[in-house]
Amino acid sequence: MFPFLDLAGINLRDEAALTEAFQRVLRSGWYVLGSELAAFETEYAAACGVRHAIGVGNGLDALTLILRGYRQLGRLTEGDEVILPDNSFVATALAVSEAGLTPVLVEPDADTFNINPTSVQAAISPRTRAIIAVHLYGRLADMQRLRVIADQHRLLLIEDAAQAHGAVDAQGVAAGALGDAAGFSFFPVKNLGALGDAGALTTNDEALAEQVRKLRNYGSSRKYVHELQGVNSRLDELQAAFLRVKLLRMAGDAQARRDLAERYLTGVSNPYLYLPQVPQVAGSHVWHQFVLRCEHREALQAHLEHSGVPSLIHYPIPIHRQAAYQEFAGQDLPISQRLASEVLSLPLYPGIADEWVEQTIKACNAFRP
Ligand SMILES: *Cc1c(COP(=O)(O)O)cnc(C)c1O
């Protein structure tokens, strides 16, 4: 079987530049909160079209620190409700819980896989203070409708952009600049991946940026002076230096992913498989995952495996069915539940061999339940 994702292959395209970056940091003798991070923050803010990018330890911390920053500013208080999609990776909910807030899980739209604005509207209560829109699988959520709802009810609109680096909407506004603040992950498998854990948040909100810069560094902006009970969550110099190299590939890789998605969309034709819907604006999807649906998902996955084609499920258990969130076990979220039993991700990444794409298409077309 060929690999579902070839991280070594992806990173070895830049072996010389990454090695040079490593040597530069090694020889500098400065490994945390230095010039590489400052440079990456400037470059990533420019790439997203925002005033502030702040490097942190990982994507979960990016989301948590946004929420903690807003608590510091008095925009959120303990127990406030935050609406998010039930079919996201669990980290979206964990950030809300970790910040002392209450997650409210809502249904996705079965066609886009993204949070359904109508369900958001229905879930708003007097305690609701924020919405987290996840750009799931790399496709931008319906930020226009969510913005209208957020403004009507004076809610914060936060992006979980961990899967959507470089996605842009019809107006050319990028993921990271579409909400009040956004959390990114640079975990190695993400579209912009480091060689270890890393994350960042982006915002145009000066006050939030100031709070988060302190929070990530023990609540301090001056050594040994601690204004807040912060955490230790910094994007280190080595990962920042690697990310500066990899950032140069972000746009090209997004296009490569779109081209590969197009090949699956035109090549796969099987009445038992439901292909992902393509957004009108091509740039608004960066295909972190190519996710199709099948009512006979287990049989399909076994058939693909038999044909030497790897596949994965993102995600097999919705948040409301996780043991960590037992309090939501009784909630009825039939669309999210159905998607969890039907979704299957095909291999898609820059540099995937032509014959593997062909092999995947053939295997998909040959499937019969
Ligand atoms: C990966 C991911 C996260 C968490 O990022 P980490 O860097 O792994 O902590 C959060 N939300 C979504 C949607 C993700 O895919």
pLDDT digits (tens, 9 = 90+) for 187-240: 999 999 999 999 999 999 999 999 999 999 999 999 999 999 999 999 999 999
From the CA of 187, give the closest atom in ligand 1. Answer: 7
Peptide bond just before 315 cis, omega within 30 deg = yes
pLDDT at 113: 98
In the DSSP assignment, the letter for residue 140 is P
Cα–Cα distance, 309 to 364 (Å, whole number): 9
Digit-coded pLDDT (tens) for 35-61: 999 999 999 999 999 999 999 999 999
From the CA of 198, give the closest atom in ligand 1. Answer: 7
Mutation to probe ligand 1, out of 185, 201, 233, 236 (largest number of atoms < 8 A from CB): 185
Distance 160 CA to ligand 1 centre (A): 8
Mean pLDDT of 317-328: 98
The one-letter amino acid at 218: Y
Cα–Cα distance, 95 to 89 (Å, whole number): 11
Cβ-count burial 110-144 (b if 16+ within 10 Å, e if not): bebbbbbbebbbebbeeebbbbbbbbbbbbbbbbe
Distance 95 CA to ligand 1 centre (A): 10
Mean pLDDT of 255-270: 98
Domains of the chain and CATH, by start: 7-106+113-247 (3.40.640.10), 250-366 (3.90.1150.10)
pLDDT band at 253 (very low <50, low <70, confident <90, very high): very high
Mean pLDDT of 77-82: 98
Distance 300 CA to ligand 1 centre (A): 27
Cβ-count burial 30-54 (b if 16+ within 10 Å, e if not): eeebbebbeebbebbbebbbbebbb
Cα–Cα distance, 201 to 300 (Å, whole number): 38
Digit-coded pLDDT (tens) for 153-191: 999 999 999 999 999 999 999 999 999 999 999 999 999
Distance 199 CA to ligand 1 centre (A): 9
Distance 265 CA to ligand 1 centre (A): 26
What's the Cα-to-Cα distance from 311 to each of 1, 189, 227, 303, 306, rounded to whole Å?
A: 10, 15, 48, 10, 11
pTM comes to 0.98
Of 195, 135, 183, 182, the closest CA to residue 163 belongs to 135
Distance 60 CA to ligand 1 centre (A): 6
What is the SS3 assignment for 103?
Answer: strand
pLDDT band at 22 (very low <50, low <70, confident <90, very high): very high
Distance 91 CA to ligand 1 centre (A): 6
Mean pLDDT of 10-20: 98
Mutation to probe ligand 1, out of 67, 159, 187, 313 (largest number of atoms < 8 A from CB): 187
pLDDT band at 72 (very low <50, low <70, confident <90, very high): very high
CB-defined site of ligand 1, < 6 Å:
58-60, 88-89, 91-92, 134, 160, 162-163, 185, 187, 197, 199
pLDDT band at 283 (very low <50, low <70, confident <90, very high): very high
Mean pLDDT of 125-150: 98
Mean pLDDT of the chain: 98
From the CA of 61, give the closest atom in ligand 1. Answer: 9
Which tokens is 295 given? 């009512």
Which tokens is 49 given? 């079209």
Cα–Cα distance, 257 to 2 (Å, whole number): 18
Cα–Cα distance, 15 to 183 (Å, whole number): 28
